[in-house]
Structure 1
Amino acid sequence: MLENSLNRLELMVEIQPHQLGMRLDQALAEILSQYSRSRIKTWILDGHVQVNGTVMDKPKERVLGGEKIRIDTVIEEEVNHQAENIPLNIVYEDDAILVINKPRDLVVHPGAGNPNGTILNALLYHYPDIANVPRAGIVHRLDKDTTGLMVVAKTIEAQTRLVESLQLREITREYEAVAMGIITAGGTVDEPITRHPTKRTHMAVFPTGKPAVTHYRVMERYRLHTRLRLRLETGRTHQIRVHMAHIAHPLIGDPLYGGRPRPPKGASQEFMQVLRNFDRQALHATMLRLFHPITGEQMQWDAPIPEDMQQLIKVLQDDTKQHQDELDW
């Protein structure tokens, strides 16, 4: 992918094998997730999309997998979002990218129920020129109450190259989490994810979903909980939360997939209070590694877990020590 001028964009991607039978606009929206499907459909209808060297103006055309796609178009802002003076915790910055350590209770991109007060609004305030970049340079997202590291592109060139790196799985994202239940060893969850058929705010494992792969390893075991380090190969909505719930180890505090807290027998009042009051998914994006989109240099950032998760882990550790004699592992 490369950018020819400030607002002109040339994209070159390949339809993936698992997309066999999908509509062209649907397949491209999955690959180029930083652009809306309606925008991609417009590009197709306007003749800006070539499939294997031939202009294709039918969004409903079915793909087979392996097609070479070229998009030559002009970028314009889809929506005039308002700039808002919201502080950002900037871990790293240069002329091409930003790396942000996102707090809890902050949405990344405006949407239904969150028209403003988001990271996108903050970016428009602190970096006015980022309005020229689709979605204000946002390349990937974190859920509202997931904390940790995310990268933002400051230019179209940086964004298109980062999106390509995501597609090629060249960006490494690792998380820390605390899950319910005792997990004895690490493993991989390789299960497709799609929108839940009846609960529209939920995602679910389903055979016709998009491919999703999550690797996890055990960092520490407690009496009825486990601290995990996880690495994403793909970046589906709610991926870690859905995958861990799927293997019967949902994350502590997860309002959508977690269920009720499960305190171990004989837990202290402090333990019970911390567990009851932990009101978000215990999930933190702790490490981000990528090749710089302009220089090609490999870069890595690490963000320590936030205070609320530190407190949660401490009471779990203390509880486990107090009942060490009762453990059978």
Structure 2
Amino acid sequence: MAEKIQHRDTVPESCLGKRFDQTLAEMFPDYSRSRLKEWILAGHVSVDGNVVDRAREKMFGGEQIVINTEIEPEVRFEAQDLPLNIVYEDDDILVINKPAGFVVHPGAGNPDGTVLNALLHHCPQLDIVPRAGIVHRLDKDTTGLMVVAKTIAAQTNLVESLQAREITREYEAIANGIMTAGGVVDQPIGRHATKRTHMAVTFSGRPSVTHYRVMEKFRLHTRLRLRLETGRTHQIRVHMAHITHPLVGDPVYGGRPRPPKNASEALRETLRQFKRQALHAVMLSLYHPITGVQMTWHADIPEDMVKLTNMLRDDTKLNLVEGDY
């Protein structure tokens, strides 16, 4: 059932000369600018009893605003009883630790069985929140922390925080090759020119910035800590491949097995069997969208990455002793 939305308020004098859509955004901050503009254009907002469907209309202050509309639930998606590793939850947000192989949002090839379906089962009221409260995604085989909004107000504030780069997201990864120092990749990312499911560094792409630092060096691999300044699709994977250090196991961007010289068969086999990008969202920090309190969460490195790291570490120590490094 659709949720009825009704609001009545007076335009403050401080909005003199401001556009109608800007005024509504100030008066009703629980809703996104795009949603408010949709309501204006659909004729769901009146000023002094008259419907105004022009977003650029100027305000004088003192007008009576009435919003009378509905928010349709996400009827396309069904709730499914799927396990969620919830690390934090309150009335406004929840934070999950996503495992590998778990798609975040239904799409082509994945009509259900996703994080979104699980969220709708865990928290049925999310059916009236766009995308069931999902404000950022992780790739199917990337593990780690995601925040989800449980209300429209929380989602609006979290989206604005993301856009203002006020949410900190840090990742751990294992990359191919020896990286001597950290740095920044500041290269635009857009759709690949010929492979439409791939992303690429491209002149016409959107601004994208990834910070990285070296945590540990092995004989032919590097453990990294990365921080996103922007949040483009496949951003870390594309940026690391762009600087010729694709992530281990990445099936799309060149992370094929690259065992070091004289590596043990066990290490070679572990690299061959690592079928996902070695990437984990290890830390998430944000200001709570309702209370404003800063909150931070950490997620342990998953077992497959711990195993690979230990084997690379042992291989490096062994070859240092034997003088082959």
Give TM-score scaled by structure 2 length.
0.81
1:76 Cα offset (Å)? 2.2
Is 1:176 aligned to 2:175, yes or no? no
1:6 Cα offset (Å)? 7.0
From 259, 266, 271, give the equivalent of 1:263.
Answer: 259
- Contact preservation (8 Å) 2:75, 2:127: no
Matches within 5 A, 1:68-79: 74-79=70-75
1:258 Cα offset (Å)? 2.1
- Contact preservation (8 Å) 2:41, 2:53: no
1:122 counterpart SS class: helix
From 318, 323, 326, give the equivalent of 2:324.
Answer: 326
1:114 counterpart SS class: coil
- Contact preservation (8 Å) 2:178, 2:222: yes
Aligned equivalent of 2:102: 106
1:201 Cα offset (Å)? 1.0
1:132 Cα offset (Å)? 1.2
- Sort the Cα spacing of 1:157 and 1:41 in 2 relative to 1 into closer, same or farther, 3 A: closer
- Contact preservation (8 Å) 1:75, 1:134: no
Aligned equivalent of 1:190: 186
- Contact preservation (8 Å) 1:47, 1:56: no
Aligned equivalent of 1:55: 54
1:261 Cα offset (Å)? 1.0
Matches within 5 A, 1:149-298: 149-298=145-294
How big is each residue's C-alpha offset from its partner over 1:93-129, in whole Å with a ceiling of 9 and x where there is no partner? 0000000000000000101110000000001111111
- Sort the Cα spacing of 1:254 and 1:299 in 2 relative to 1 into closer, same or farther, 3 A: same
- Contact preservation (8 Å) 1:6, 1:156: no
Is 1:312 aligned to 2:308, yes or no? yes
1:99 counterpart SS class: strand
1:197 Cα offset (Å)? 1.3
Q: Which residue type is aligned with residue 266 of structure 2?
A: E
Higher Rg of the two aligned structures: 2
- Contact preservation (8 Å) 2:41, 2:54: no
> How many residues are paired up?
280
How big is each residue's C-alpha offset from its partner over 1:287-309, in whole Å with a ceiling of 9 and x where there is no partner? 00000011100000000100000
- Contact preservation (8 Å) 1:48, 1:55: no
Q: Partners in 2 of 1:185 and 1:238 — Cα distance?
A: 22
How big is each residue's C-alpha offset from its partner over 1:214-272, in whole Å with a ceiling of 9 and x where there is no partner? 00000000000000000000000000000000000000000100242111110001101
1:104 counterpart SS class: coil
How big is each residue's C-alpha offset from its partner over 1:284-329, in whole Å with a ceiling of 9 and x where there is no partner? 00000000011100000000100000001011001000111333xx
- Contact preservation (8 Å) 2:249, 2:277: yes
Give TM-score scaled by structure 1 length.
0.80
Q: Which residue type is aligned with residue 55 of structure 1?
A: R
Is 1:299 aligned to 2:295, yes or no? yes
Aligned equivalent of 1:12: none
Percentage of identical aligned residues: 70
Is 1:85 aligned to 2:81, yes or no? yes
- Sort the Cα spacing of 1:257 and 1:84 in 2 relative to 1 into closer, same or farther, 3 A: same
1:200 Cα offset (Å)? 1.0
